[in-house]
Amino acid sequence: MYGSSVNETWAEQLDTGTGLIQLMTLVQGIYATVSERHDLTPVQARLLCVLIGGPRGMAELAQMFGVEKAALTGLMDRIEKRGFAERSAVPGDRRAVQVTLTAAGRRAASAFHREMGAALGRLIDPIPAEDREQFRSTVAGIVMRCRTSPSSE
Amino acid sequence: MYGSSVNETWAEQLDTGTGLIQLMTLVQGIYATVSERHDLTPVQARLLCVLIGGPRGMAELAQMFGVEKAALTGLMDRIEKRGFAERSAVPGDRRAVQVTLTAAGRRAASAFHREMGAALGRLIDPIPAEDREQFRSTVAGIVMRCRTSPSSE
DNA sequence: TATTGTTATACTCTATAACTATA
DNA sequence: TATAGTTATAGAGTATAACAATA
């Protein structure tokens, strides 16, 4: 059941856990499709989106992504080779580097973000109007509670 | 924003799209953590779970997973080497093979499935009782509608 | 000594293209 | 010709371990 793709179920009688797995698969698929349409891998798209918020250090990014620093090195090498982000020196700490979006990176990031928003909108719009706000707040609640008690214990 | 990990937001004022992205990230993370705890990659766990439902052909699995047949060959090579599934001949079509779980594969699959259910339960349980059924049905509705109009057009 | 980041190596997952064997 | 599956090759993403430079 928890390996199920979206195309094999009864869906109206879906228990919540199975529903969450299928929703995850669905959103993941949309994220992958939109990324690909912008000639990005999902991880690259995520990196660009994070960098919209401002420059970050390598270790900081690794921690945000839950991967080792060495993985970030490779990821940055590829994104830098494509001209979407740059490493630059950090004044005051000669070990560290700052990762910043280039102009092309900003364009790519916001184009991706815009299309992702539209795609998610098509998912959300058909929700009956009277259910929408409660759905939003239930999702927000789940996410918020998991900030407090990180499930990865 | 759409690159955000779960650890950086206001969460109570989360719009639905951003909430869905973070929920996806959250469930993905749980799936990865539980997989790892069973010494499986997420894709391997998914394969085992699908096979609980009975034997499948390689092309059938490739289609379910949305990958090329060649990717399934590699995936099966590794899962078979670990003793979790087997290829066997299909009577009546000498080109085809059937993929079946071994006893060890069934054990691994159901152990994973059980722990995944428990982990998702911890996500769902804190939802206020009066919201739970509507949440379930809203999720089911999203998933169902996307079976009808596949978002990947 | 601790931290920041890189290099080297290996493995999984994936795609594409070319191929074999059967239908 | 079409379908089922494999092989070969290449690239992305990841982990681990060893390393350099700086704090």
CA→C1' distance for A6 and C4 (Å): 43
Residue A6 has what pLDDT?
54
What number of other Cβ atoms are within 10 A of residue B95's Cβ? 6
Cα–Cα dist A146/B25, whole Å: 11
Split at pLDDT 50, 70, 90, the class of A153 is very low
User: Is pLDDT of A74 > 80?
Assistant: yes
Q: Angle between the B16-37 and B42-52 helix axes, to the nearest 10 degrees? A: 80
The tens digit of pLDDT for each residue in A112-133 reads 999 999 999 999 999 999 999 9
The tens digit of pLDDT for each residue in A41-69 reads 999 999 999 999 999 999 999 999 999 99
Identify the H or E element spanning A2: none
Report whether B58 contacts B97 (CB < 8 A): yes
Question: B45 and chain A: CB distance < 8 Å anywhere?
Answer: yes
Q: What is the mean pLDDT of residues A96-101?
A: 98
Split at pLDDT 50, 70, 90, the class of A140 is very high
Task: Please name the nucleotide lying closest to A99, CA to C1'.
Answer: C5
Residue B13 has what pLDDT?
73
**Residue A150 DSSP symbol:** -
A45: its two tokens: 């798209």
Cα–Cα dist A137/B128, whole Å: 11
Report whether B72 contacts B97 (CB < 8 A): no
Residue A115 has what pLDDT?
98
Position B122, amino acid = R
Percent of chain A with pLDDT over 90: 86
In sequence order, what DSSP letters do the residues of B103-131 get, joined into one string?
A: HHHHHHHHHHHHHHHHHHHHHHTTS-HHH
**Beta-strand (E) ranges in chain A?**
56-57, 85-90, 93-101
User: Is pLDDT of B152 > 70?
Assistant: no
Select the residue of A11, A22, A120 nearest B20 (Cβ to Cβ). Answer: A120
Split at pLDDT 50, 70, 90, the class of B142 is very high
Report whether A17 contacts B120 (CB < 8 A): yes
Question: A52 and chain B: CB distance < 8 Å anywhere?
Answer: yes
Cα torsion at A110, A113, A119, A125 (round to 10°)? -100
Question: B59 and chain A: CB distance < 8 Å anywhere?
Answer: no
Which residues from 75-94 of A have any strand C atom under 7 Å from their CB?
76-77, 87, 90, 93
What are the residue ranges of helices labelled H in B38-102?
42-52, 58-65, 69-81
Q: Answer yes or no: do B28 and A30 touch at CB < 8 A.
A: no
CA→C1' distance for B29 and C6 (Å): 27
